[in-house]
């Protein structure tokens, strides 16, 4: 089966298959979305206008039988940051798209009729745009249910909720998991609003089985698969901690390190931390039912996802991740995991990025709209977003917008994107990533936390500024490569520590593509792709002055360590120029 590109023009509602060009053949995931955006999108275009494009690309290895390799990248110019953007998600759609032979889907143009939505239906026989009809306006849970009822169980769904339809810049793109929960999000940067601006409510993928993927060297691929699987199963983080406690196991360690942003980044410690972490989710899975060790897509051997139930044992939401437990919990002073789970469910339904949503609520709480710690009022506010009321419209447009609307100075964003769950004043290297990433504040762009907090791949003092420029650069170049492969970023915990697992990862790629990539190529490609993204951002008007943390972090000391952010500007400026 030959691979092909799919170009979907929403202006004339046409869908065309195109050959995969030589330049795109070996690319996937973030490398492919960013290459296409760089080549085809004017960096100064309005992100929600007709000239932006939305690109969906499975990773290089996505759709194969390699372990934990189901990621799907979504790219565009971001309406939140104004930069190039890639967000990726697990769930089942990525594998299905790859197994249909689709290298990437490029959505362009805009429907003439405003407020009209369509679905793109992909099957082995058919590729067609259909009117969304009754799905328009629906939340993600109801929409996913209706789609499985109408088209069949097990179908992959990529969709937007009402936030995306209303073009709110905190709208994410949902991918469904094997049980049809909409909770796997390409959340960051407002890509759901771009999808809404294209009049695209959903992409549904009807595909069964392993597809017909051509391996250049099946034996090498198989060897690599075995090495990597062994490494993921043996490493204590990917083999034990993540499947047992999920990502929210980080709540307590960041709290102990004094780096858990609390009450809108006014402290690094939350007195209610022990009530909202992964240990509680694990305990609940025994007392309430639900699940830990849940896989977000078939073939994941890490299984960090979970299902969290109500006190009465009925289903509530999946998954509750670290970022979400923090943003809607500690950052809002809320220590009720049930309230956090409810807000998580609302975000999944409306179609919001939970990081941005929690940071937005934190700013609204600081402004006195509601009180810190008031979970019930926070739930009410989030529901306003889905209704599109005036307050809901403000909150749905994110942290920076809400801060301006209410006159708040402590606004924890870089390039308008909210910081995730690691305080840069207590973990200096992650601040370098936030400041200098091509995506705005984004921990996944260069996860220095691995060495600064978790002692994986080395060990560094989080409170010391020295050497953090080189560290953040190294993580950023490695990350973009993993984001291109379609592997879950969490394989990094194993491949950073275990040389055999790292080689296994390379072997799977070389076995699939027929390439002979080495560890050096890993860094070289990463640097090239980052440069491509930087070039887009520069052409969009960004300068080194944008590569800074918000000013308050340079003069407000953060308890308990009472540090300000003290990484010099020169280090930030040299991250990408050295």
Partner 1 sequence: MNITVRLFAGLRCENKRLECFGKNDFEHVLSQEMNLEEFLNCIGVSVQVAKIIFVNGLFKPLTYVLRDADEISIFPPIGGG
> CA–CA separation, 135 vs 119, rounded Å?
9
Our measurement of the distance from residue 107's CA atom to the centroid of its chain's CA atoms, rounded to an integer in Å, reads 20
438 Cα distance to chain centroid:
14
Q: How far apart are CA 561 and CA 330, in angstroms?
A: 18
78 vs 185: CA distance, rounded Å: 16
Binding of partner 1 by 486 (CB under 8 A): no
Q: Is 83 in the site for partner 1 (CB under 8 A)?
A: no
Candidate list 1, 128, 216, 236; residue touching partner 1; CB under 8 A? 236
* Residue 546 exposure: Cα atoms within 13 Å on the Cβ side: 18
* 29: nearest Cα among 109, 83, 91, 87: 87
Q: Does 564 bind partner 1 (CB under 8 A)?
A: no
Distance CA 177, CA 141 (A): 12
- Per CB under 8 A, the segment of 84-92, 218-226, 241-249, 368-376 that binds partner 1 is 241-249
Q: What are phi and psi of 137, to 5 degrees?
A: 85, -10
Nearer to partner 1, 101 or 446 (CB): 446
In what side-by-side order are the strands of the sheet with 315-317? 291-294, 305-309, 315-317
Query: Residue 64 Cβ, how far from partner 1 at the closest point, in Å?
Result: 23
Cα–Cα distances in angstroms (integers) from residue 495 to residues 265, 460, 482, 488, 502, in the given order: 32, 18, 11, 12, 4
**456 part of the interface to partner 1, by CB under 8 A:** yes
CB of 254 to partner 1, least distance (A): 10
Size of the site for partner 1 (CB under 8 A): 43
Helix/strand/coil for 307: strand
The minimum distance between CB 478 and partner 1, in angstroms, equals: 14
- Report if residue 493 touches partner 1, rule: CB under 8 A: yes
Angle at 51 between CA 49 and CA 52, to 5 degrees: 80
Piece of the chain touching partner 1 by CB under 8 A; list 25-33, 56-64, 449-457, 570-578: 449-457
Q: Applying CB under 8 A, does 245 fall inside the site for partner 1?
A: yes
Q: How far is the CB of 331 from partner 1 (least distance, A)?
A: 16
Closest CA to 190 of 401, 451, 488: 401
Q: Which is nearer to partner 1, 59 or 392 (CB)?
A: 59
Binding to partner 1 by residue 542, rule CB under 8 A?
no
Residue 487 makes contact with partner 1 by CB under 8 A: no
Q: Which of 117, 185, 434, 447 binds partner 1 (CB under 8 A)?
A: 447
Which member of 221, 322, 502, 542 binds partner 1 (CB under 8 A)? 322
228 near partner 1, judged by CB under 8 A: no
350/482 with CB nearer partner 1: 482
Burial of 465 (0-12, 13-18, 19+ CB in 10 A): middle
Verify binding: residue 181, partner 1, rule CB under 8 A. no
Residue with Cβ nearer partner 1 (258 or 412): 258
Q: Using CB under 8 A, which of the segments 370-378, 385-393, 488-496, 564-572 binds partner 1? A: 488-496
**End-to-end Cα separation, the chain, in angstroms:** 43
CA dihedral defined by 211, 17, 175, 231, rounded to 10 degrees? 50
Per-position DSSP letters for 158-176, written without gaps between them: EE--HHHHTT-TTB-EEE-
Pairing of strands 127-131, 156-159: unpaired
445 is an interface residue for partner 1 by CB under 8 A: no
Rg from Cα positions in the chain: 22
Closest approach, Cβ 384 to partner 1, in A, equals: 30
* DSSP-assigned beta bridge partners for residue 16: 7
Residue 465 as a binder of partner 1 (CB under 8 A): the answer is no
The span from the CA of 422 to the CA of 426, in Å, is 8
Separation of alpha carbons 200 and 56, rounded Å: 13
Part in contact with partner 1 (CB under 8 A); list of ranges 23-31, 49-57, 212-220, 245-253:
245-253
Tell me the window of 26-34, 204-212, 359-367, 444-452 that interacts with partner 1 (CB under 8 A).
444-452
Sheet with 102-108: list strands edge to edge: 14-19, 4-9, 102-108, 54-58, 72-77, 84-89
Binding mask 266-305 for partner 1 (x = CB under 8 A): ------------xx------------------------x-
Residue number, 235 or 345, with CB nearest to partner 1: 235
Closer to partner 1 by Cβ: residue 386 or 462: 462
Contact pick of 68, 73, 110, 238 for partner 1 (by CB under 8 A): 238
Stretch that binds partner 1, among 244-252, 342-350, 404-412, 567-575 (CB under 8 A): 244-252
Min dist. Cβ of residue 457 to partner 1 (A)? 11
Contact region with partner 1 (CB under 8 A), list: 169-177, 369-377, 487-495, 539-547: 487-495
Minimum distance of partner 1 from residue 543's CB (angstroms): 29
446 sits near partner 1 (criterion: CB under 8 A): no
Enumerate the H helices of 2-121 as residue ranges. 29-40, 93-99
Phi-psi label, residue 454: left if phi above 0, alpha if psi -120 to 50, beta otherwise: alpha
Q: Can you give the binding site for partner 1, defined by CB under 8 A? A: 235-238, 240-242, 244-250, 252-253, 256-258, 278-279, 304, 321-323, 443-444, 447, 449-450, 453-456, 459, 461-463, 489-490, 493, 560-561
């Amino acid at each position: 089966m030959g691979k092909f590109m799919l170009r979907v023009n929403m202006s004339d509602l046409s869908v065309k298959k195109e050959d995969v060009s030589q330049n795109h053949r070996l690319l996937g995931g973030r490398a492919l979305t960013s290459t296409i955006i760089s080549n085809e999108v004017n960096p100064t275009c309005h992100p929600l206008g007709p000239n932006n494009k939305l690109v969906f690309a499975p990773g290089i290895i996505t759709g194969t039988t390699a372990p934990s390799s189901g990621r799907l990248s979504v790219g565009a110019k971001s309406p939140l940051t104004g930069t190039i953007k890639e967000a990726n998600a697990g769930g089942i759609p990525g594998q299905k798209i790859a197994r249909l032979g689709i290298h990437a889907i490029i959505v362009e143009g805009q429907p003439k009729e405003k407020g009209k939505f369509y679905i793109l239906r992909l099957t082995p026989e058919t590729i067609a745009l259909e009117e969304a009809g009754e799905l328009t306006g629906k939340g993600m849970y109801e929409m996913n249910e209706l789609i499985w009822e109408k088209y069949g169980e097990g179908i992959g769904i990529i969709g937007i909720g009402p936030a995306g339809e209303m073009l709110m810049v905190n709208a994410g793109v949902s991918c469904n998991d094997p049980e049809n929960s909409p909770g796997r999000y390409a959340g960051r940067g407002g890509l759901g609003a771009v999808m809404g601006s294209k009049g695209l409510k959903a992409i549904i993928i009807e595909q069964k089985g392993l597809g017909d993927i051509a391996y250049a060297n099946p034996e090498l691929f198989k060897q690599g698969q075995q090495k990597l699987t062994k490494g993921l199963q043996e490493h204590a983080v990917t083999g034990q901690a993540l499947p047992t406690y999920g990502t929210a196991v980080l709540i307590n360690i960041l709290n102990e390190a004094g780096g858990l942003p609390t009450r809108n980044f006014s402290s690094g410690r939350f007195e209610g931390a022990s009530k909202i972490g992964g240990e509680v989710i694990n305990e609940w899975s025994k007392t309430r039912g639900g699940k830990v060790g849940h896989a977000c897509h078939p073939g994941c051997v890490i299984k960090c996802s979970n299902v969290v139930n109500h006190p009465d044992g009925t289903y509530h939401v999946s998954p509750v991740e670290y970022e979400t437990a923090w943003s809607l919990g500690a950052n809002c002073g809320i220590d009720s995991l049930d309230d956090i789970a409810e807000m998580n469910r609302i975000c999944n339904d409306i179609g919001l990025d939970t990081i941005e949503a929690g940071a937005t609520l934190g700013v609204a709480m600081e402004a006195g709209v509601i009180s810190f710690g008031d979970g019930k009022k926070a739930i009410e506010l989030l529901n306003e977003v889905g209704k599109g009321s005036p307050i809901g419209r403000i909150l749905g447009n994110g942290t920076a917008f809400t801060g301006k609307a209410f006159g708040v100075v402590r606004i924890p964003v870089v390039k308008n994107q909210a910081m995730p769950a690691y305080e840069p004043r207590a973990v200096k290297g992650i601040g370098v990533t936030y400041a200098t990433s091509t995506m705005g504040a984004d921990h996944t762009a260069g996860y220095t936390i691995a060495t600064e907090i978790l002692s994986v791949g080395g060990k560094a003092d989080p409170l010391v500024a020295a050497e953090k420029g080189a560290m953040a650069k190294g993580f950023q170049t490695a990350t973009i490569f993993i984001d291109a492969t379609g592997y879950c970023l969490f394989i990094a915990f194993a491949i950073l520590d275990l040389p055999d697992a790292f080689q296994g990862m390379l072997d799977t790629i070389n076995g699939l593509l027929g390439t002979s990539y080495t560890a050096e190529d890993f860094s070289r490609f990463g640097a090239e792709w980052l440069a491509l993204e930087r070039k887009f951002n520069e052409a969009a008007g960004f300068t080194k002055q944008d590569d800074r943390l918000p000013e308050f972090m340079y003069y407000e000391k953060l308890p308990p360590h009472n540090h300000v952010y003290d990484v010099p500007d020169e280090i930030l400026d040299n991250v990408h120029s050295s």
